[in-house]
Chain A
Amino acid sequence: MSDARWFEINAAVTAAVRHFAGACTIFEKIPATVTQEDRYLVEMAFMHAMLAGQTSLEAALIRILDLTGEEAPTGARWHADLITRAAHPVGERPAILLGDAARAADETRRFRSISADAYDAFDHTQATKAVASASLLVTLLPSEIVRFREATDP
């Protein structure tokens, strides 16, 4: 029987996909949003959706590490270490995210840092690469997790 903790992992993956997809939709609305008040609303919604997507992705990865008995990264650089760790096999645990998915997760991780620290200083319309990465994760993340599950908990 499959481990019951996949229930929470799948919920976190579903949440990540939902928030990243929402962020992509909101991002498209930014250029056409003219009034200051509406612009504020869509920019804040965009940043929050991206942050929620990354937080959900991180929650899924941390739960997977726990599932395999692996300690999660700690310290100031843990957000970056988590993505790097997920992108590599550790011991007998295969990589959780491969290639494009791992690179996309690192891009959205960098955007997370900008959202958290420089929210007032940047032009949101410049975030095209982060949005492309979020869109890629919407497509790739579920299949990456299924691949990992089939390999480790058939």
Chain B
Amino acid sequence: MQRIVTLTERKTAEAARRREAVVALVAVLAAYARTHGGRFLLYGSAARGTMKYDSDVDLLVDFPEDTLGEAWNFAETACWDRNLAPDLMPYGWCKKTFVDHIAPDLQVVE
């Protein structure tokens, strides 16, 4: 009899894949940050290790103004290459209330 993969099983597998992909992503981002004089800040479910099957990767990009765009594009591409959905913002643009809200989860990647 043909085995049927249930939606719950598919979602569970995809969530696990995303969590593993984030581990690999963080290593790549850290290497970039170390060599380019900046840092990334991971927050939300990706930082907590609680990603679901449809979770995106919440990242703040903290680099000097002249290299910010390049760092953004690197992080964006690194996410897409791992079939992850990036949600990026420059750290310097954040409202204080927003930073306070995400502070408990914040994982510095450098």
Contacts and interface: CB of A to CB of B under 8 A. Distances in A.
Interface stretch (A64-72, A93-101, A112-120, A145-153): A112-120
Contacts of B98: 120-122
A11 interface: no
Given A118-B87, A121-B98, A122-B98, A110 B69 contact: yes
B105 to A, nearest CB: 14
B3 interface: no
Contacts of B85: 76
A107 interface: yes
A127 interface: yes
Contacts, number: 47
Interface residues of A, number: 18
A80 interface: yes
Given A76-B85, A122-B98, A114 B69 contact: no
Nearest to A114: B89
Nearest to A106: B69
State the majority secondary structure of interface residues on B. helix
B93 A127 contact: yes
Contact of A106 (B73, B88, B90, B92): B73
27 contacts: A76-B85, A77-B76, A77-B77, A77-B80, A103-B69, A106-B69, A110-B88, A113-B88, A114-B88, A114-B89, A114-B90, A114-B93, A117-B87, A117-B89, A118-B87, A120-B98, A121-B89, A121-B98, A122-B89, A122-B94, A122-B95, A123-B93, A123-B94, A126-B93, A127-B93, A129-B65, A129-B69
Interface of A: 76-77, 80, 103, 106-107, 110, 113-114, 117-118, 120-123, 126-127, 129
Interface of B: 65, 68-69, 72-73, 76-77, 80, 85, 87-90, 92-95, 98
